[in-house]
């Protein structure tokens, strides 16, 4: 993350032009990041909860080897996503009153970006697994790939276009 990004300035915009101190910028960036994490955590919790209930369903025993392996990978990815999405809060607790807000924001930003990558994989894999079980392997692979493309467009391409236009 660049100093301008940490400071909350647009690329090419001088962070000093904003009417806030570095501490205020870090506080604002932290609060914005927490709002984003709240939105993401809800989706992660719902998806993880869904995955954790599957083995207790009657049809789970009918899954083939591929489906069971995919399911187990998804559980691991969902747990890792949950860990990364909650890590900034834990880190904040560990660094509370240590005057390291800027470092906290930078580290939390990186963890959140990594959690988004894992979340994309969990959403893609879960969609693929559901279609694989309900319709068939081919449909599962096609829909999983389509989900990955849609998420890549929404989460990577669209922000990139907006950033270039801004």
Query: 3-state SS string over 90-114?
Result: HHHHHHCCCCCHHHHHHHHHHHHHH
How many Cα atoms sit within 13 Å of 127 on the Cβ side?
Answer: 18
- Overall pTM > 0.85: no
pLDDT tens by residue, the chain, 166 residues: 454 454 445 554 555 567 888 888 988 988 898 899 988 988 899 999 999 999 999 999 999 999 999 999 999 999 999 999 999 999 998 888 888 889 999 999 999 999 999 999 999 999 999 999 999 999 999 999 999 999 999 999 999 999 999 8
Instruction: Report angle CA 152, 155, 161 to the nearest 5 degrees.
Output: 95
Is the Cβ–Cβ distance between 15 and 4 less than 8 Å? Answer: yes
- pLDDT for 166 equals 84
Nearest to 88 by CA among 119, 109, 102: 109
- pLDDT for 15 equals 54
- pLDDT for 22 equals 87
- pLDDT for 7 equals 47
Q: How far apart are CA 155 and CA 9, in angstroms?
A: 21
- pLDDT for 6 equals 47
- pLDDT for 47 equals 93
SS3 category, 8 = coil
- 């501490």: which residue's tokens? 23
- Angle, nearest 10°, between helix axes 101-134 and 137-152? 150
Is the Cβ–Cβ distance between 120 and 151 less than 8 Å? Answer: yes
Nearest to 73 by CA among 126, 149, 138, 144: 126
């Amino acid at each position: 993350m660049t100093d301008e990004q940490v400071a909350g300035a647009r690329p090419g915009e001088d962070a000093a032009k904003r009417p806030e101190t570095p501490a205020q910028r870090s506080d604002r960036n932290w609060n914005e990041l927490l709002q984003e994490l709240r939105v993401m955590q809800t989706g992660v919790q719902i998806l993880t909860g869904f995955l954790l209930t599957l083995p207790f369903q009657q049809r789970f025993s009918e899954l083939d080897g591929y489906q069971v392996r995919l399911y187990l990978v998804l559980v691991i990815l969902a747990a890792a996503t949950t860990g990364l999405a909650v890590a900034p809060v834990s880190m904040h607790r560990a660094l509370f009153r240590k005057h390291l807000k800027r470092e906290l924001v930078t580290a939390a930003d990186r963890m959140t970006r990594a959690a988004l990558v894992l979340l994309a994989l969990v959403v893609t894999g879960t969609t693929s697994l559901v279609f694989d079980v309900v319709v068939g392997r081919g449909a599962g692979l096609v829909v999983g790939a389509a989900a990955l493309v849609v998420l890549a467009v929404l989460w990577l391409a669209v922000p990139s276009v907006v950033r270039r236009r801004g």
